[in-house]
Structures are given as C-alpha cells and as structure tokens.
Amino acid sequence: MSALAPNSAPTGYALDQDLIDRCGERAAGYDRENSFFWEDFQELRDAGYLKIAIPTSLGGYGLSLAEVVREQRRLARRAPATALAINMHIFWTGIAADLLRRGDSSLEWLLHEAAAGEVFAGGHGEAGNDLPLFLSTTRAERVEGGYRFWGHKIFGSLSPAWTRLGLHGMAQGPDGPQIVHAFMPRDTADYRIEETWDTLGMRATRSDDTVLEGAFVPDRYIGRIVPAGQADLFILTFFAWVEPTFAAVYSAIAERARDLAVAGTKRRTSLALTRTMAYHPEIQHNVAAMQLELEAMLPHLERVAADWSAGVDHGPAWPMKLVAVKHHCAEGARRVVDLALTVSGGGAMFKRNELERLYRDVRAGGFHPASSLLAHEIVGKTALGIDLGEQPRWG
C-alpha cells in the first residue's frame, strides 16, 4: 500500500526559537510541580502550532509528516513533555489531512473543528490490551443516534485541555466484534477524569485516566468502524503519524542530552589530567557511542517520515517500517541519555541538572505503542512473510 499523494511544497512554517526557549525555561518547573504546561500551551496555540498539519485550504499551515517531525524535534529538544502532549492533537490533524489527500473525507469535519479551535487528544491506552486500536477492553454499544462506551482509559495526555477525546471500544456487530473509533466532546455526560498522573517522567503531559460510564457519542463523532483485529487506511495512517512523531520527541531528547554532556565535559577537569575531561579516552569512547546511535537514529526517522510524505509504496512493509522507527529511536534515545549521564558524572543526579529530568523523561518512550514486544512481533512476522492478522496469533 502506498502512503499518500505527495504533499505540497514546504510551507516555510517554523516555530519561533524564542518561543521554544521560553518553553524550555518553564520545563523544570512543570516537572517539579507535576503541573500541566498551560503557559506553553497558550503560547503554542497563539503561534498557530496546533494548526501546522491542517491543510492551508482549511485554515492551517499544511505541513507534511516530515515537516511536522522536524518541528517536533525542535520543540522537544527544550520541552519534551510539552512536545509529547501537543503531539496528541497534531497527529489527529495529520491523520485527517492525509486521509483527505487520499480522497477519504470521513474526518474532514475534524480538520474544520481543529481549525476553529477544538483540541483533540488520544484515549486509547488500556490496561491489559497489548494490541491498541485493534482490540479494546472498552465496551461499545449501539444505541439510537450513536454509541455508548464503558471502559477505563489510561495515559490520556492533554487531560486538562482536550475538547475532543479520540477513543475506541469494542462492539458486537452482525458479523462479529467491531472496533468503534469515536471522538467524545468534553461536555459529554457519564464520564470522569481521574487525576492519577504522578509518574517518573513526562509529568507536564498530565496524562490522567478517563473512566467511561456509558458516555454517549453521537454518530457525527464516530470516525470509523473496523472489524476487530483488522486494519484499513485509517489505522495505517494513524500509525504513520503516531510512530514517527513519537520517535521525533525521543530523538530530540537524545540530541539535547548529547549536547549537554559534551558541553559539560569541555568544562570538567580532573587531577589526573592536564586538560579537560574531553581528553579522557573513555569519555571520548562514550561520546562516540552517543554519536553513533544518533547517526543511525536520525536518518532512519527522516527517511521514514519523508517516504510517507512523498507517497512511497512500501506495500505490506509499511507497518513494520513505522513501528521499527519508533522502537529504534525510543530505545536508542535511552542508551544515549544513559551515556550522557556517565559522561557527565555525579552532578547529573541532581534535580538542578537538566540531564536528571531527561533521564526520567526518556524512560517513557518504551511505553508508547507499539511496545517493544509488539514491535518485535510485527517486524519478525513481516520479515518471515507471516500475515499480521493470521490466527492463531502464536503457536
């Protein structure tokens, strides 16, 4: 399957560096207080950043996936949690825009609402479900005029700010179980947000739980109904926007950690050396290891994002390529940050050191879908020529 028709020429939109730097200055405070990034959110909104993936014809800036990845890396280098949470809105607009480019207008309404100021987020995390989007522990029931949902969603980034929560649930259809993809308005009845977010890292995202207690979503906010366990263009496009943009955030953390470690090493001295620690052979070895990781991660990310944006046809290999880049960048970023702390010495343990926060933030990368377990399954089966939907799943 090809990705999509090539996007328009680069728009030239670039987030103001001074704004990015202000976000970076606030990041430690949000982390320390475990508070939502309201000041960042408002500045980014005022700058039009929430509209970067909306087509220009609908009031946005029309950035492609590759261009969004570029901007997200810039923001995440200074404010990773802010970039990660904002991503939950941006990816929905990117999905809708790419579907529209392929002639599928089923989510065009989402682009109009986002252009008018609505804020979208993702409500797909569920305990006990290792196949997000394909299966669901949430129950969906068809009722007059729409669906009702019962379930418990976790990792709900943007909980204080979203006005439309993208979620999914499993319903029994005439031909078997179906996954119903819906967008729940914030003023809906019969749900509640539980403030559970007190975590190791990415604290400013305020990814609280959402408990659905029969919440009704009208038909106009039902985005897709797909047979359980199966994929279509909507699902593929979802992963095309989610995986590389997650990878962008964690790659940026690695870049920032490398920069901080290198700068610090040039200032550090030791009684055993006549020059700075930059001349210690093992410091050089570890810095080289960091750079070697980045030399592989960043071109991988840029290539996958560029291929999707250009409409390259990778056929059934697309799912593998998408989960692989997220896995590669999230795991590589963790290794880079660990090395950065080794290079920087004991001072990196202190809360006043930015590396301490990056060390915690980068740990979140493995928890985003696709997990390491699922990524290896998808890549392994694809390489072996095994259909991803083949049953039984194993054995």
| pLDDT > 70: percent of the chain | 97
Residue with structure tokens 């939502």? 36
**What gap in Å lies between CA 11 and CA 56, rounded to an integer?**
9
Distance (Å, whole) CA 359 – CA 340: 9
Question: By C-alpha distance, which of 246, 282, 273 is closest to 367?
Answer: 246
- Structure letter (DSSP) for residue 184: E
Q: Are 193 and 156 in contact (CB under 8 A)?
A: yes
Cβ-contact 58, 107 below 8 angstroms: no
Q: Helices 233-265 and 80-101 sit at what angle, rounded to 10 degrees?
A: 150
> At which residue do the structure tokens 């999707």 appear?
308
Is residue 270 scored above 80 in pLDDT? yes
**How big is the chain by its Cα radius of gyration, in Å?**
21
The mean pLDDT of 236-264, rounded to a whole number, is 98
The confidence score (pLDDT) of residue 294 equals 98
pLDDT at 375 over 60: yes
CA gap 19, 49 in Å, rounded:
11
Pairing of strands 120-123, 146-156: unpaired
Q: What is the mean pLDDT of residues 269-277?
A: 92
Q: What is the mean pLDDT of residues 82-86?
A: 98
Whether the pLDDT of residue 26 is over 90: the answer is yes
Range 326-349 average pLDDT: 97
Contact by Cβ (8 Å): 156, 122 = yes
Structure tokens at 165: 């929560």
Judged against a pLDDT cut of 80, whether residue 4 lies above it is answered with: no
Give the Cα separation of 235 and 226 in Å (integer): 9
More confident: 117 or 12:
117
Question: Three-state SS for 53?
Answer: coil
CA–CA separation, 281 vs 283, rounded Å? 5
Per-residue confidence band for 395, with pLDDT thresholds at 50, 70 and 90? confident
- Compute the average pLDDT of residues 15-33: 98
Span 28-82, pLDDT tens digits: 999 999 999 999 999 999 999 999 999 999 999 999 999 999 999 999 999 999 9
Q: How far is CA 237 from the centre of its chain?
A: 13
Is 239 in contact with 92 (CB distance < 8 Å)?
no
Q: Classify burial at 318, counting beta carbons within 10 Å of its beta carbon; exposed 0-12, middle 13-18, buried 19 or more.
A: buried
pLDDT category, 11, cuts 50, 70, 90? low
The model's pTM is 0.96
